[in-house]
Structure 1
């Protein structure tokens, strides 16, 4: 997400720090690079220019130039102006206190509109609402079947009709009537028609649906990968329908960030949610301050904690705390925690939410933290239940067996057990500590291989230098041993 923009902005801003004493001249030079980074991210020219003017006005002030760390002050100014550019935003939608709230989803064909309807239905259901989907995209017959499948996956009712002999307005009206008959539905999401481009026929159809159904919320699914084209489309839809919100889709793709940064400024319509993956659970509320932090490589701890709260079970967490206090934390427990963390999303994205980790990942671009976790998982899975509970049972012969089963080297088994024993000891101490002491203990843990993602990565990178994949390394060593054995026989 925004990797190019983040990298360019960080380079431009770090250049200010490298320049020694800051003057009005080198600040302006540095901010010109920031402006170039915004333009390369497909930010509207006028918006990029006015953004830099606002930052410059504050950055060349006496307060910044005489600050102890003026470069940090400038980063703070850029951060706040990014927040102002994308906000303010109140995430989510407002709902009727009683009766059925109607949400009309619109957007161009290929923007992810139908999938977004399903994601939104799933999210609202998690929030305690009772949504229903209505397949009103009659221009693309596959959209009707797609919405039926999605409705089944998120377990919500769907109203769909044959596209022949009917129209979108009638389908939406029938869908609303069906929702009233069901009795328990409180939110209806209309998946309206899209086109490959904006045309008069499309807008007339959408205007008729809006006029007849009078939806409480009109939402535009905006494809972030199309940059300023997406912003221009949002502007056209807003002029015709008066949008209440935007959902940015495909932010996990090769997006430059221009749409996210400028759609609010151009249209005046706030971004409500962002789609960060194809799976139906990959829809997140949009927070300008958190997004600004991610763009500048500052991390996003709040979102990380929220993701963790969604995945961790309170009873299991309490049980784990007791096991840690009693010194019973096992490799089984560790493997379960890794599985829970993987559910939170791609490991690279998770790590970028941790302050400082984004920069470390940039310096190790060839390393995949997710594969490191998979490697550890494979090793633990190759152990017997007794070995997972009591790693001290693992002797030389057991190490060889586990290495064969997991496609790793016996030395990696030894290192994993050693790192785990160190970690388990520190965790036992942490169980009875206060927050300050826990933070100190976490720093102690981070100096070890297992709990230090970059430490694990550097070892993985070193293995890569030595020959790549551990399985191939093992095969290579096996061939070398055979060759030596054969040579010794010849020498005899």
Structure 2
């Protein structure tokens, strides 16, 4: 999401940076290009007009035009305005005192509510909470079965009463159970429809009245674009939304909905979801400043660090550092590092969070397909070969190629590149740092 918008904006600012001193005409021409970029990203027209007007007013001021680095000043203004547009600060989940905290997930069918309910439950459990999933969607075929299956998979309890009970009664009984079992959070997966209709809204109002949730979160598919604004406005009018969760942000979406919904409805975005796998890395709290930085190509190191901390093994990292410095980093270590990295999320998404590597991610210098091929080659090696790559010659290469479904030349290339990387890591490790861009080039 936002790749096209990010490219367009960075091109505009690069052009400004080449001008040195800026005239008012330069700024207005740049803002014209920003306006086009935002509209092409499917941002609401009214939001675009107001955004461009605010940026232009500040960017043509004396402080910018007489600055030694006017282009940087303009970027700083755009960055701050994007943050303001997205909501200024992270809005955490509300907590009920006393508990349990009741969260109702609502939205249209196909938005990913059920999967999001499981992801949110997993995220809460990693925070030390005790969540309960509630199957209140009695209309969609297999909705109850899906939630129960996800609950078993994650080891999270699910409250379900089949398709015969009324959703408000299911929710009420689930809250009663939560109090009896000292559950901290109740996550209610409600029914969706293909479009907003009166029966859907009435049922949501009934559930809302029955259990009085502190959070009423609208789950929205980021792929639906401007339709998200209308959907959010209508749900907010009927049940009073407290937050929004955007799903499928790793899809081929233009991203305008995320920039529009908060500005139009005033409802904060609370989480971003990606992928279909139910893992902690596929849902993250929404931080306006971090998304603004991603859009402008500044990366999002804080989110990357938070993901890494969730899977970080300090002892393993210490051992790895010693091996890097000594140059004894082998294929087994490399395989373990790859597997740890993949737990952080899709490769291109991770690279996009690192300042300076967002373009490498989009240009696909190294892709998931490349990693899978490398993995297959390493898995086809014996333990002895992984620990001592110098053994990999002649017939060993042929055997590894057959076992991994690759060509001998590809095995040779990987072994040669790995040896170069070992030497580089020893050299750079001794200097106290490794340039990630250099690593990417070495792995091409």
The answer to whether TM tops 0.5 is yes
Post-superposition Cα deviations, 1:248-297, rounded to whole Å, max 9, x if no partner, equal: 11212221111111211111111110111111121111111111111122
Structure with higher Rg: it is 1
Aligned residue in 1 for 2:174: 175
Aligned residue in 2 for 1:219: 217
Q: Using a 3 Å threshold, how does the CA distance of structure 1 residues 172 and 72 change in structure 2: closer, same or farther?
A: same
Aligned residue in 2 for 1:132: 132
- Aligned partners of 1:13 and 1:34 also within 8 Å: no
**Cα distance, 1:172 vs. partner?**
1.0
**Structure 2 residue ranges without an equivalent (≥5):** none
CA distance in 2, matches of 1:307, 1:63: 39
**Cα distance, 1:404 vs. partner?**
4.3
1:247 and 2:245 aligned: yes
Q: Which consecutive segments of 4 or more residues in structure 1 shift more than 6 A? A: none
1:338 and 2:338 aligned: yes
Q: Using a 3 Å threshold, how does the CA distance of structure 1 residues 213 and 409 change in structure 2: closer, same or farther?
A: closer
Aligned residue in 1 for 2:107: 107
1:383 partner SS:
coil
1:71 and 2:65 aligned: no
1:385 to 367, 383, 394: 383
CA distance in 1, matches of 2:197, 2:402: 62
CA distance in 2, matches of 1:193, 1:361: 37
Aligned residue in 1 for 2:228: 230
CA distance in 2, matches of 1:168, 1:63: 59
Aligned residue in 2 for 1:190: 188
**Cα distance, 1:91 vs. partner?**
4.2
**Cα distance, 1:18 vs. partner?**
4.5
Task: Output aligned runs, 1:339-488, within 5 Å.
Answer: 339-362=339-362, 364=363, 368-428=366-426, 437-439=431-433, 442-443=434-435, 446-447=437-438, 451=439, 453-457=440-444
Aligned residue in 2 for 1:83: 83
Post-superposition Cα deviations, 1:404-439, rounded to whole Å, max 9, x if no partner, equal: 4444455554443444344334545666x6xxx423
CA distance in 2, matches of 1:135, 1:378: 40
**Cα distance, 1:51 vs. partner?**
0.3
Post-superposition Cα deviations, 1:374-398, rounded to whole Å, max 9, x if no partner, equal: 3332332232222221222334443
1:392 partner SS:
helix
Post-superposition Cα deviations, 1:72-97, rounded to whole Å, max 9, x if no partner, equal: 22122111111110012334312235
- Aligned partners of 1:113 and 1:191 also within 8 Å: yes
Aligned residue in 2 for 1:468: none
Q: Using a 3 Å threshold, how does the CA distance of structure 1 residues 400 and 167 change in structure 2: closer, same or farther?
A: closer
287-296 or 395-404, which deviates more: 395-404
CA distance in 1, matches of 2:297, 2:389: 39
1:277 partner SS:
coil
1:210 and 2:204 aligned: no
CA distance in 2, matches of 1:257, 1:446: 27
Post-superposition Cα deviations, 1:47-88, rounded to whole Å, max 9, x if no partner, equal: 100100111111111222222332222122111111110012
- Aligned partners of 2:171 and 2:210 also within 8 Å: no
Post-superposition Cα deviations, 1:139-176, rounded to whole Å, max 9, x if no partner, equal: 32432222212222222111112323x32211111122
Aligned residue in 2 for 1:148: 148
1:220 partner SS:
strand
Aligned residue in 2 for 1:267: 265
Q: Using a 3 Å threshold, how does the CA distance of structure 1 residues 16 and 269 change in structure 2: closer, same or farther?
A: same
- Aligned partners of 1:31 and 1:56 also within 8 Å: yes
**Structure 1 residue ranges without an equivalent (≥5):** 458-492
60-69 or 403-412, which deviates more: 403-412
CA distance in 1, matches of 2:286, 2:373: 34
CA distance in 1, matches of 2:325, 2:11: 45
- Aligned partners of 2:20 and 2:69 also within 8 Å: no
1:222 partner SS:
strand
1:189 partner SS:
strand
CA distance in 2, matches of 1:428, 1:359: 27
**Cα distance, 1:9 vs. partner?**
2.1
2:68 partner SS:
coil
CA distance in 1, matches of 2:357, 2:325: 29
Task: Output aligned runs, 1:290-369, within 5 Å.
Answer: 290-325=290-325, 327-362=327-362, 364=363, 368-369=366-367
CA distance in 1, matches of 2:21, 2:79: 22
207-216 or 378-387, which deviates more: 378-387
Aligned residue in 1 for 2:274: 276
Q: How many residues align?
A: 442
CA distance in 2, matches of 1:326, 1:38: 50
CA distance in 2, matches of 1:414, 1:156: 47
Q: Using a 3 Å threshold, how does the CA distance of structure 1 residues 135 and 411 change in structure 2: closer, same or farther?
A: closer
2:139 partner SS:
coil
CA distance in 2, matches of 1:13, 1:115: 39
- Aligned partners of 1:8 and 1:37 also within 8 Å: yes
2:432 partner SS:
helix
CA RMSD of aligned residues (A): 2.3
TM-score where L is the length of structure 2:
0.92
CA distance in 1, matches of 2:169, 2:361: 53
1:15 partner SS:
helix
Aligned residue in 1 for 2:13: 13
CA distance in 1, matches of 2:377, 2:140: 48
